[in-house]
Amino acid sequence: MRWWNTYKILHDMKEKLHWSAAEIRRYQFWKLRQIVRFAYHNSPFYREFYDKAGFSPDQVVSFEDITKIPLLQKKQIQETDPSHVVTQRDENGEPADLDWMVENTSGSTGRPLTIKRTWGDLYHIKAKIIRAFSQTGFRFYHRQAVIKSSAESLTGKHWFERLGILRKYWMAVTVSPEFNLESLRRIRPQHIHAYPSGVLAIAELLIERGQTLDIPVICTGAEVLDHISREKLQEAFNAEIFDLYGTREVGNISWECPAHNGMHVNEDALILELLDESGAPVPDGEEGQVVVTYLDGMDFPFIRYNIGDRAIRMPGICSCGIEFSRLKQVTGRSDSRIRLPSGKWISGLVFQELRDTTWLNAFRIVQDDEKAIKLQIAVRSKPQKRQLDALVKKTRKLVQDELDVIPEIVDKLEYDNSGKIKAVVCNLTSDDAPLSK
């Protein structure tokens, strides 16, 4: 009954939702010192990394000293044998003979990352996502449809699902929306957890047919959820929509509560920093790079880890009373921006305005050139020339008329390795320019 450990952790996590901001900060500092020291003394990778950077765990004497810890880039972990990163070791300094599980990140950036997990890691990751779901109204006896990259889970079916507890029904985004719609009618879930693009395809099919399918709660994640997509999901499913943010490396990072005013950061499990291009913290309300220290990840640490995403933090305390800080918006990955000839960058979110084009099924913006972007479009019906010209003109306006827009009609947009459809792809290599405001 090893999963029972998850519920013990979950109970403790729910109690922490009542903590004050001061209590949260004290706890974070205690855990920060603990994991930095533990990683340095037990992980060959971290010892070598910190020694080379001239950093010692003894330098962390206050919470603000987190800025003294070297930033960890994804490439560094990708190029390292995961057995060199783990902290659980035997008397000979070799990785302990534990029931390790190997996970890979989605590889949506082009190259996957290999992580070694212990059951202790999985308990904490599972507890975090269940706590997030519980804040959306999810209950243990609900049927949950999961619409992601494949119709299977990492750990398979569990014994408690046969008892009607935490029943999950896995569906793949890569199959037709018609098939997934019929599956939803058969399952009758009270709760959906899905990639936005996967469940949006079903919603648009329902809207096209003039139908609705009542599902109380839909939680989205792994892709940016824009306001137009949210409205379509509400219309098609009569659902309350909640956005979640997480990564394979550290699990759930933040979640939207019923107040629907930002996403609470799991500050009892991680420290989230938003930094500018120079590595300095950005003020609330400004976009920055997401850097995470996973406080519960003692076995395979992620300390000041640059995830590659960008987000905006909001000030103040939520009306729900939970004092965890909030993200206003996750704006996408660092490579989901477009560079203008002036050298400025614009967020890929500006292109969400294209989604209200009725004849457009899906789109992707691709930048391979400093002076132009390709607008790849999959259509419901062949557009007239004036409609296509209007779409190109609208897209040019979104890039401040600085880039040529080359339309390209395709049969369909292909999913990437992670089962997602990236709406914006920039293949230019530079991170030295800030986003335009």
DSSP letters for 402-430 = -SEEEEEEES-PPP-TTS---SEEE----
Listed in order, strand segments (DSSP E) in 87-188 are 101-104, 114-117, 143-148, 167-172
Tens-digit pLDDT profile for residues 371-429: 888 888 888 778 888 888 888 888 888 888 888 888 888 887 776 655 566 778 888 86
Strand partners, 365: 375, 424
Boundaries of CATH 3.30.300.30 in the chain?
A: 337-426
Give the whole-angstrom CA distance, residue 124 versus residue 251.
9
Q: Report residue 368 as tokens.
A: 């391979």
The structure tokens listed for 74 are 């994804």
pLDDT confidence band for 257 (50 / 70 / 90): very high
Residues of the chain with CATH 3.40.50.280: 136-245
Neighbours of 256 (CB within 10 A): 24
CA distance 276 to 290: 9
DSSP-based three-state secondary structure for 383:
coil
pLDDT digits (tens, 9 = 90+) for 58-113: 999 999 999 999 999 988 998 888 888 988 877 777 777 777 878 777 554 456 78
Calpha distance 30→19 (Å, rounded): 15
From the number of C-beta atoms within 10 Å of its C-beta (0-12, 13-18, 19+), residue 356 rates as exposed
**Residue ranges of the chain that CATH labels 3.40.50.12780:** 4-124+257-333
Superfamily of domain 337-426 in CATH is ANL, C-terminal domain (3.30.300.30)
Could you name the CATH architecture of 4-124+257-333? 3-Layer(aba) Sandwich (3.40)
| Predicted structure pTM score | 0.78
Correct CATH for 136-245 of 3.40.250.10, 3.40.50.280, 3.90.1150.140, 3.30.910.10:
3.40.50.280
> What is the Cα–Cα distance from 309 to 290, expressed in whole angstroms?
5
